[in-house]
Amino acid sequence: MRIRLLDTEEAAPMHLLLLADPSEMLINDYLANGQCYVLENETSEILGTFVLQAQNTTKIELVNVAVSEAYQGHGLGRMLVEAAIETARNQSYQQLLVCTGNSSIGQFALYQKCGFRVESIERDYFIRHYPDVIIENGIQCRDRICLTQNLSES
């Protein structure tokens, strides 16, 4: 398997990106300003993706991480998050930000296992920014939890 930057003429794997964010409009916005990476298997099938978007000269955000449903639960999400951390570090960013919903229990645990710490909670973010109610794990997604990792630390 390999992770590579998506070529500018290639279409982003929208079917995967939509697994992590139900708003195609918001995805297109951050794709326009971000870097999309894909995880491919030996036959060049795209199994996962992540998108990084610079916030300023020292801080970059991991705005989307997704793994094909058929391949979830096999450590590929962690592989993508670790690749995003290494990519941000190699690009000389000092801090990596990632935000998730209060109902995204698995993702929240994964980010903490990868060294992220809770920075803030934005109450009712998903109520204000998404037209449809989002239910995940039987919980309404309302609040956005933001986590950060200082990239100068091991």
Domains and CATH numbers, the chain: 2-150 (3.40.630.30)
- pLDDT, mean of each 10-residue run, the chain (154 residues): 93 95 91 96 95 96 95 94 97 96 93 96 93 90 96 75
8 A C-beta contact, residue 33 and residue 12:
no
Question: Is 104 exposed, middle or buried (CB count within 10 Å of its CB: 0-12, 13-18, 19+)?
Answer: buried
Quick check: pTM over 0.75? yes
| Predicted pLDDT of residue 132 | 87
Residue type, 115: G
| Predicted pLDDT of residue 153 | 67
| Predicted pLDDT of residue 111 | 96
**How close are the terminal C-alpha atoms of the chain, in Å?**
25
Q: What is the DSSP letter of 55?
A: S
